[in-house]
Structure 1
Amino acid sequence: MSPVSSSAPHGQWPLRTVQVLGGGNAGSSAHVRSLTEGLVARGVRVTVCAPVEADRAYDFTGAGAEHVHVPRSSDPAAVAALRAACADADLVHAHGLHASFRAVLALGGRTTPLVVTWHNRARAEGARAHLLRLLERRVVKTAAVVLGTSSDLVDRARRSGARDARLAAVGLPGQRRPSLTLGCARAGGPPSHDDPDRLRSKVRAELGTIGRPLLIAVGSLDRHRGYDVLLDAARAWRELDPLPLVVVAGEGPLRPVLQRRIEDEELPVRLIGHREDVPELLAAADLALVTSSWESRSVLAQEALHARVPLVATRVGGIPDLVGDAADLVPYGDAQALAESVVRLLADPERRELLRERGARQAATWPTEDETVAQVLSVYDELTQPRPLA
């Protein structure tokens, strides 16, 4: 564990915070890992309450935190474990709706300030959707501050009764550069010293896209990702010469359905499963695609703009604010608009270069990890510093 400074910018004692994670969202887990590192470096004591699998994947202890295993459940045992971990906390910060609800239960009757960050919108239908709305109201009315990673999440919190809802500054955690090796994370081998052009050729050869455009999408194979619409759009690309290939990195419950459609309709799409080399895949791509029904701060969109890869994305959630004019935006569910945007971009190298330049400029406006930590610390200060007597 990294050493923790004995001095802190919050008063006479090191501030102790508890970060609560559900463990199911990669974006929020990476954010907590980054936040932990920044807080510890500034003298804050951090305990991360999350399933043990999350600590294995994101190494919160390696970032200087104490890790406490709390299952991804709201049963009495999980709530009791969380209550014990929060016993001497100066402040509790929960990430995501379910983790926030567990924190509310664990803090019942205590005056410990609760900060909540919403990274995404919970999705459900029917009776479960009504239950989630009740949980949202309970959480936001209990939280001292709700931070939303997009303006529509902030608006949703306010409509649900939040007394203080703000836009979160969220940097892209651990902004990665291609490691200049193909599959080294999977194979465990040492980094290669190949140059970027050689790396690109290796990746494209592996995927079978030498001499043809490569389009990449990344994300779990779930309904909200819009991959059914992507397959509809791919029909229009079968007539192009050379034929573009769409590569989808991710796993999920819809894989059998999507794979059957790809085979039955002979679509130029490959499902390649979960990958640890997404930066390398992205660096080799001609276009990146985000087809979701809703996103807050899409990690793929951010990585595409950082990597100067032209992006086509749905005009939903926080994406328009995130990318500005640095991407081609299309309506969600409109396969024709998606297909036409892709075909136009593949035929227009000048437009692709313009998007690359705009993407680099837009990425430079996003908050850094340091700015993210600074905003969070300012919120913590507001809630924990003694107030002067009137």
Structure 2
Amino acid sequence: MTPVSSHAPHGQSSLRTVQVLGGGNAGSSAHVRSLASGLVARGVRVTVCAPVEADQLYDFTGAGADHVHVPRSSDPGSVAALRAACADADLVHAHGLHASFRAVLALSGRRTPLVVTWHDRAHAEGARAHLVRLLERRVVKAASVVLGTTSALVDRARRTGARDARLAAVAMPGPLRAVEHDDPDRLRPKVRAELGATGRPLLIAVGSLERHRGYDVLLDASRGWLRLDPVPLVVIAGEGTQRAELQRRIEDEELPVRLIGRRDDVSELLAAADVALLPSSWESRSVLAQEALHARVPLVATEVGGVPELVGDAAELVPYGDAKALADAVVRLLDDPERQELLRERGVRQTATWPTEDETVAQVLSVYDELTQPRYVI
């Protein structure tokens, strides 16, 4: 029998992989898009199983992959669709906890190798937190290899029972819309005027309006900026379950904060910002942190999860939940142009240490080869 090769030389069939995505966050979706493109370029056949909306946004088919619509739910219909898509796969690679759990169900009774990438920690409380722990145990015990995007996630996978957990190389996700072709001197005042930040500092936060993002703490901190002249404007891009609660506080307390909803022009928003803010209770490889450093925008972030590992000394780090520390860090940074420039320079150096797309694909491909290449017994 001719061995399968991921590099597909003449006369051999290419490795067939299925990438399973649950709809996921921007980081995992962009990662799968980048991975699909790199794998296809190296002769690997790739099928991406994801909700149709994800393909519309990230264009997996444009990267050369096949796309199969699999709804985000774990109902029998979704699992059956995924099982059919994985029927002749040499290897399945699932991204995120819920996608991984669906893959475990779909591969039940088969010997197909399963690689799992944890891009982030599932956020849950109470009874749901117990369910998440059960799902994590089920997934890591079924996975051949668990890849974690931060050291903390690798440690969590090992504690949960993973037989093989490794740190994943993950390239910075490409922005949905690049600004390199725009004139920054023209773009910046235009965006600032649209946001209502002409003649005042502009602070940008991006992420879903959910409790773990720490926007309640950010609103507390914004009260400390009311005494400044001019008063900075905080703009939060994102949607989520906390929108009504946050909007009510903004209006009742007359806070200098605007909620602008989900946006596809984050690169433009960052290019116009004086400071980027990341007040979360947990982050892994934060997309905002990566884009801020890449765009040379000073970042103030909470010292949680994978953030210190990701940004190094290229950001101002504060404890989570400490509104005064967050407020003071921003004030100091706005008053210190030399510190801002130092962070910009450090940001450029830090981004150069992050894995490239080629390095990311090479690592994943080496894992695939390890799990699928025939082992000859002498």
TM-score bracket for this pair, using the shorter chain length: over 0.9
How many Å apart are 1:26 and its aligned residue? 2.0
* Code of the aligned partner of 2:283: E
Equivalent residue, structure 1, for 2:280: 292
How many Å apart are 1:75 and its aligned residue? 1.2
Deviations 1:131-153 (A, max 9, x none): 11111011101100000011110
Equivalent residue, structure 2, for 1:174: 174
SS where residue 17 of structure 1 aligns? strand
- Say if 1:178 and 1:283, in contact at 8 Å, map to a contact too: no
Q: Does 1:114 align with 2:114?
A: yes
Q: Does 1:200 align with 2:188?
A: yes
- Say if 2:177 and 2:265, in contact at 8 Å, map to a contact too: no
How many Å apart are 1:302 and its aligned residue? 0.3
* Code of the aligned partner of 2:152: D
Equivalent residue, structure 1, for 2:78: 78
Deviations 1:107-149 (A, max 9, x none): 1111110000000111111111111111101110110000001
1:366 to 354, 359, 375: 354
- Say if 2:5 and 2:373, in contact at 8 Å, map to a contact too: no
* Code of the aligned partner of 2:341: E
* Code of the aligned partner of 2:52: V
How many Å apart are 1:223 and its aligned residue? 0.6
- For residues 1-390 of structure 1, the aligned pairs below 5 Å read 8-9=6-7, 12-175=12-175, 178-179=178-179, 195-390=183-378
CA gap 1:60/1:304 in 2 versus in 1, 3 angstroms: same
How many Å apart are 1:179 and its aligned residue? 2.6
SS where residue 80 of structure 1 aligns? helix
How many Å apart are 1:174 and its aligned residue? 2.1
Q: What is the CA–CA distance in structure 2 between the aligned matches of 1:174 and 1:378, rounded to whole Å?
A: 23
Deviations 1:143-166 (A, max 9, x none): 000000111100000001100000
* Code of the aligned partner of 1:9: H
How many Å apart are 1:178 and its aligned residue? 4.4
Deviations 1:220-278 (A, max 9, x none): 11111000000000000000011111111111111111111111111111111111111
SS where residue 239 of structure 1 aligns? coil
Deviations 1:178-232 (A, max 9, x none): 436xxxxxxxxxxxx7521111111111112121111000011111100000000
Q: What is the CA–CA distance in structure 2 between the aligned matches of 1:48 and 1:343, rounded to whole Å?
A: 45
Give me the TM-score of the superposition, normalised by structure 2: 0.96
How many Å apart are 1:337 and its aligned residue? 0.4
Q: What is the CA–CA distance in structure 1 between the aligned matches of 2:13 and 2:232, rounded to whole Å?
A: 59
Q: What is the CA–CA distance in structure 2 between the aligned matches of 1:54 and 1:175, rounded to whole Å?
A: 15
Give me the TM-score of the superposition, normalised by structure 1: 0.93
Q: What is the CA–CA distance in structure 2 between the aligned matches of 1:71 and 1:312, rounded to whole Å?
A: 37
- Say if 1:326 and 1:358, in contact at 8 Å, map to a contact too: yes
SS where residue 57 of structure 2 aligns? helix
Q: What is the CA–CA distance in structure 1 between the aligned matches of 2:136 and 2:155, rounded to whole Å?
A: 13
Alignment length (residue pairs): 373
- Say if 2:104 and 2:139, in contact at 8 Å, map to a contact too: yes
SS where residue 18 of structure 2 aligns? strand
Q: What is the CA–CA distance in structure 2 between the aligned matches of 1:74 and 1:207, rounded to whole Å?
A: 40
- Say if 1:152 and 1:318, in contact at 8 Å, map to a contact too: yes
- Say if 1:287 and 1:309, in contact at 8 Å, map to a contact too: yes
Equivalent residue, structure 2, for 1:189: none
How many Å apart are 1:10 and its aligned residue? 6.1
* Code of the aligned partner of 1:284: A
SS where residue 108 of structure 2 aligns? coil
* Code of the aligned partner of 2:153: L
- Say if 1:262 and 1:268, in contact at 8 Å, map to a contact too: yes
SS where residue 358 of structure 1 aligns? helix
Q: What is the CA–CA distance in structure 1 between the aligned matches of 2:350 and 2:284, rounded to whole Å?
A: 16
SS where residue 111 of structure 1 aligns? coil
SS where residue 68 of structure 1 aligns? strand
Q: What's the % identity of the aligned pairs? A: 83
Q: What is the CA–CA distance in structure 1 between the aligned matches of 2:183 and 2:287, rounded to whole Å?
A: 25
- Say if 1:114 and 1:143, in contact at 8 Å, map to a contact too: yes
CA gap 1:207/1:367 in 2 versus in 1, 3 angstroms: same
SS where residue 309 of structure 1 aligns? coil
How many Å apart are 1:388 and its aligned residue? 2.9
- Say if 2:101 and 2:135, in contact at 8 Å, map to a contact too: yes
SS where residue 117 of structure 1 aligns? strand
